Amino acid sequence: MSIEFSKKLTAHETPIPGVVLYDLPVHGDNRGWFKENWQREKMVALGLPDFRPVQNNISFNEKAGTTRGIHAEPWDKFISVATGRIFGAWVDLREGPSFGAVFTAELDPSQAIFIPRGVGNAFQTLEDNTAYAYLVNDHWSADAQGQYTFLNLADETAAIQWPVPLADAELSDKDQAHPHLADVVPMPAKMILVVGADGQLGKALRELYDGDATVEFAGRAGFDLSSEASFAERNWENYSTIINAAAYTAVDTAETAEGRTAAWAVNVAAVSRLARTAVEHDLTLVHVSSDYVFDGVRESHDEAEPLTPLGVYGQTKAAGDAVVSVVPRHYIVRTSWVIGEGNNFVRTMASLAGRGIGPSVVNDQIGRLSFTADIAAGIRHLLESGGAYGTYNLSNDGEPQSWADIAADVYELSGRPRTAVTGVSTEEYFKGKAAAPRPLNSVLDLAKIQSTGFHPASVASRLKEYLS
């Protein structure tokens, strides 16, 4: 066998999404050869998913023509050849538009291939004494084998051109009995779990993902974030992502003894359980943050600004952000002044306008509204576009306003005079009241989320739609 030495580590895309063929540098001399079969730092830098292998398997095949497959397994694989040569064949057996796509290639020790979960894998040895090695990112078990998807080696649709005709090849009886493509049930995608799905953002996510069977919604009754049993009972290998839409948001009550306990339980302790689960099972964790993690001194807050919370609510949100930041695959989505389905400032002002009441509204706190439909859309954009993990500000766009400005807009859109709203300072408004400290400036810089191709609608357009 002739091996091409000193190839440059190179990635080659294939017709099957996520399946990538790699050239590996092999270094040889008169004694034999050496290669780095799996080198995490170099390969991740090249674009190979950091798939965290946990098991290394070797299949030794005594005779040329030995044929195995086609098996789609519930984990990712990184395949290479230790000795000999193979003809590899891969068929996409996942749900989706690429179902049935085929890729074939000959592999020797100077090549490797990454096969995502759900892509059918098969090979035929081209030389005697061929050793086929592969890394996987989940442990094999009898239960896991029940989640395999199979395809017949001789399927007419895939039409794989085996170098050794199947009639002359070494096959198992099981492999010969697998179904043809028309009878294959595609392997479903991993699930997204939305926790806190009954709140304002949860309802917007329900509407956005309506009809998508890969998204599961759990309110407090369906998933108790305070219970270790809720975490232990779920098979996390079936999930790719958790979206945390749960939060304790009673800003003023959080300053009381009872409220402080509740805020830390939901915004920090529960988030810690989610983060631990995400790390242990290599999940993406999406967490929603708040402008209250800042003291409001700066005119505009970008994602790099140090956290400077003023009150208990802000402190718990900042602590939650710090916890989530250690998850390798995380998105912290920072919002301000959230408006969705349920009780909120805009609904309150519209109700007062309808009853002819002229309110006094704070005029020295500046920011932008964040409508839950846009927060939900931004989260989906980050997940589907594969945006870099990290923190993203996400509010609606437009000129910053005070709460009094927004109240006046609501009155005008409701057919009432803007002058019905009286502006007062934060100090005047809360004089004599037990209230949490609030940042005076909550304007979030949107440049980072916009650089990913997501452009939130203006507050003015969303407010008009909301009220109509």
Q: Which of 71, 178, 287, 330 is catalytic?
A: 71
CB 65 within 8 A of CB 125: yes
Encode burial over 246-266: b for 16+ CB neighbours within 10 A, e otherwise.
bbbbebbbbbeeebbebbbeb
| Residue 468 CB-density burial (10 A; 0-12 exposed, 13-18 middle, 19+ buried) | exposed
**Token code pair at residue 316:** 């718990």
**Token code pair at residue 118:** 């759900």
Q: What is the largest CA-CA distance in the chain?
A: 93
Listed residue (103, 92, 67) closest to 151, CA to CA: 92
CB 248 within 8 A of CB 261: no
C-alpha 201/C-alpha 267 separation (Å) is 15
Residues 6+ apart with CB under 8 A from 421: 358, 359, 361, 404, 407, 408, 411
Q: Is 134 a catalytic residue?
A: yes
Q: Which of 22, 132, 134, 209 is catalytic?
A: 134
Name the residue with tokens 């996520």: 18
The SS3 of residue 389 is coil
Q: Is 429 a catalytic residue?
A: no
DSSP E strands in 214-263: the ranges are 215-218, 239-244
CB 367 within 8 A of CB 395: yes
Q: Which residues pair with 114 in a beta bridge?
A: 20, 78
Which residues form the catalytic set? 71, 134
